[in-house]
A = this chain, B = another copy of it.
């Protein structure tokens, strides 16, 4: 069955902050699936900060997006036709063919999803790469240990809010930073011990020092910039920093700025370690086992911000950088 599918293409590379002009909507015809192929109609797609990196033409851990081609990213869809064993119409599948309404793909590029009773879009968030990112960063990279005081930036975001809750479930004192009263209220709702509204604080280091009078032992960095400076200043000896992202730096046209006090890492014996979740997919079953228990016990909450329709995908993406989203930013396609 051939289908019409709209998709979002990269029209031009952003210089500094991306704008709507960097994207274009196009319509293509998806032909019948070939031998070994599966035809999928997407129901949900995700937009994530890391995609900004792929919009620049530079070497990174994933190749750059190409101008004039559809963007890529996580998506959840329904099989509508299949020429591959193991996939049948009606199956829910996860793929990296986001930013489009429908597509054909070889079976190997798809993952059949057992939703375990969760809404399918949860697998783009708390039960997918987003949640695993939180788990890996906190447990493996930062090597969380009893008594650690944990500081999380972008704490009301998709990753940050899961980090906060996993740390709380492990019995830790958690300090979260987010921008604005609504996000701070959400942080309280998910149980953080202290919430910093960084937009309302003239001196983030002072605010963190006040929120963490005994210092911090773990910093989960989604932001970089001033937050990283503050964390270095307030870190205790032998603190561990999981460097997950530095969204404050992604759109700088004049170039990013490093933490001026990185030298503190020497005397305080700090460990700063970057990671990308795709190196740690082996931990997904372990994470999902834990998550299933937490969800069953009502111990974990998540938030979604949803835009409706493929034509809204660029707007959804741009909201990541203006800080307008709460929790996981998604686009509903189906």
Q: A258 contacts the other chain (Cβ, under 8 Å)? A: yes
Which B residue's beta carbon lies closest to that of A258?
Answer: B258
In the complex, which residues of chain B have a beta carbon less than 8 angstroms from the beta carbon of A262?
224, 228, 246, 256, 258-259, 262
Cross-chain contact B269 with A260 (CB below 8 angstroms): no
The answer, among B246, B266, B274, for a CB contact under 8 Å with A268, is B274
- Number of A interface residues at 8 Å Cβ cutoff, please give it: 34
Q: A86 contacts the other chain (Cβ, under 8 Å)? A: no
Q: A15 contacts the other chain (Cβ, under 8 Å)? A: no
Encode contact with B along A49-93: 1 for CB under 8 Å, 0 otherwise: 000010000001100000000000000000000000000000000
With A271-B271, A271-B273, A272-B271 in contact, is A260–B256 under 8 Å at CB?
A: yes
Cross-chain contact A269 with B258 (CB below 8 angstroms): no
With A266-B246, A268-B61 in contact, is A260–B260 under 8 Å at CB?
A: no
In the complex, which residues of chain B have a beta carbon less than 8 angstroms from the beta carbon of A243?
265-266
In the complex, which residues of chain B have a beta carbon less than 8 angstroms from the beta carbon of A270?
273-274
In the complex, which residues of chain B have a beta carbon less than 8 angstroms from the beta carbon of A259?
258, 262
The answer, among B245, B258, B261, for a CB contact under 8 Å with A260, is B258
A270 to chain B, nearest CB (A): 5
Cross-chain contact B279 with A263 (CB below 8 angstroms): no
Bound: A53/B263 CA distance, A = 11
A224 to chain B, nearest CB (A): 6
With A263-B246, A263-B256 in contact, is A276–B272 under 8 Å at CB?
A: no
Bound: A136/B88 CA distance, A = 58
Cross-chain contact B263 with A269 (CB below 8 angstroms): no
Q: A267 contacts the other chain (Cβ, under 8 Å)? A: yes
Q: A134 contacts the other chain (Cβ, under 8 Å)? A: no
Cross-chain contact A274 with B267 (CB below 8 angstroms): yes
Which B residue's beta carbon lies closest to that of A255?
Answer: B260
The answer, among B249, B264, B265, for a CB contact under 8 Å with A263, is B249
Which B residue's beta carbon lies closest to that of A232?
Answer: B258
A151 to chain B, nearest CB (A): 17
Cross-chain contact A224 with B260 (CB below 8 angstroms): no
In the complex, which residues of chain B have a beta carbon less than 8 angstroms from the beta carbon of A273?
265, 269-272
Q: A257 contacts the other chain (Cβ, under 8 Å)? A: yes
Q: Which of A's residues lie within 8 Å of B, judged by CB?
A: 53, 60-61, 224, 228, 237, 243-246, 249, 255-276, 279
Per CB-CB distance, the 10 closest pairs between chain A and chain B, nearest first, are A258-B258, A265-B274, A266-B274, A61-B267, A258-B259, A271-B273, A272-B272, A246-B263, A258-B262, A258-B260
15 contacts between A and B (CB under 8 A): A61-B237, A61-B267, A61-B268, A228-B262, A243-B265, A255-B260, A256-B261, A256-B262, A257-B258, A258-B258, A258-B262, A264-B274, A269-B274, A270-B273, A271-B274
Extra A-B contacts (9), CB below 8 Å, given A256-B260, A256-B262, A271-B273 = A224-B263, A246-B262, A246-B266, A258-B259, A258-B260, A259-B262, A266-B275, A267-B274, A271-B272
